[in-house]
Amino acid sequence: MSTTNIVNHHSLFDQEQDHEIPMQMGFNIPFPPNMTLPPLDNCHHQSLKAVQKTREFDDHLTSSFGGGGQLLSLNRSKVNSWAWGEVTGSLIGKRSSGGDDQHHHHHNQQLGVSAIKMKKMKGRRKVREPRFCFKTMSDVDVLDDGYKWRKYGQKVVKNTQHPRSYYRCTQDNCRVKKRVERLAEDPRMVITTYEGRHAHSPSNELEESQTQSELTNFFW
């Protein structure tokens, strides 16, 4: 059961016009998909407010959806995403974490880079990549979001029972990553965190239902 809870969310969104949703939800961040610009901080807050207004989220942006919806919360980090890469847009320095990331993450995160890549990346600056996560009640860990992912790591994080899995988009030149873990306090919950934006479409030829594609557009 609950193969893709995400499908259930559709019922909540379908009355909305497709092109309206991303703006309202704030995930359509006004910077190009090649991620040369940071996910502007101020955009963050406004989006959340928009979410509340539009979707009647509560103050903590946590809410149960009706009709069997299982997306319980949405969260978007404004300062905790970091990456290495070329910078063609605005540069940003490191800023302190505002503690706005997932409540279950008690600290700032920085991306690790391999030694080889490190050499290549020498001299380049840090750029933040957009990141957001959501909590889902689900039996399956990996929700089908229309993209293809390859697992590249698994780690047991401190103070948690369940390991965290790391995935990368299989598309060439797409460095979007996601990680999946179960909430320690409630193992029924799956936390999915996306990092970066796809510079391509899901390209999931078959079995991409309309529900899924709509949701895909909605999120990323």
Partner DNA sequence: CGATTTTGACCAGCGC
Partner DNA sequence: GCGCTGGTCAAAATCG
Binding residues vs DNA (CB under 7 A): 94, 107-118, 148-159, 164, 166, 168, 170, 177, 179
**Contacts (Cβ under 8 Å, ≥6 apart) of 86:** 36, 124
Identify which of residues 56 and 205 has a Cβ nearer to DNA in the complex: 205
Least distance to DNA from the beta carbon of 116, Å?
A: 5
Least distance to DNA from the beta carbon of 160, Å?
A: 8
**Contacts (Cβ under 8 Å, ≥6 apart) of 104:** 183, 184, 185, 191
Least distance to DNA from the beta carbon of 59, Å?
A: 27
Least distance to DNA from the beta carbon of 79, Å?
A: 12
Identify which of residues 49 and 148 has a Cβ nearer to DNA in the complex: 148
What count of other Cβ atoms lies within 10 Å of the Cβ of residue 145?
A: 19
Contact 50, 24 (CB under 8 A): yes
- What the block records as the tokens of 146 is 């229309």
Identify which of residues 9 and 178 has a Cβ nearer to DNA in the complex: 178
Contact 34, 200 (CB under 8 A): no
Identify which of residues 44 and 168 has a Cβ nearer to DNA in the complex: 168
What count of other Cβ atoms lies within 10 Å of the Cβ of residue 160?
A: 16
Least distance to DNA from the beta carbon of 67, Å?
A: 31
- What the block records as the tokens of 101 is 């990331």
For residue 85, the one-letter residue type is G
Least distance to DNA from the beta carbon of 179, Å?
A: 6
Identify which of residues 159 and 210 has a Cβ nearer to DNA in the complex: 159
Identify which of residues 1 and 116 has a Cβ nearer to DNA in the complex: 116
Look-up: residue for tokens 């949405």?
74
Looking only at the bridges linking them, the beta strands covering 177-182 and 131-137 are unpaired
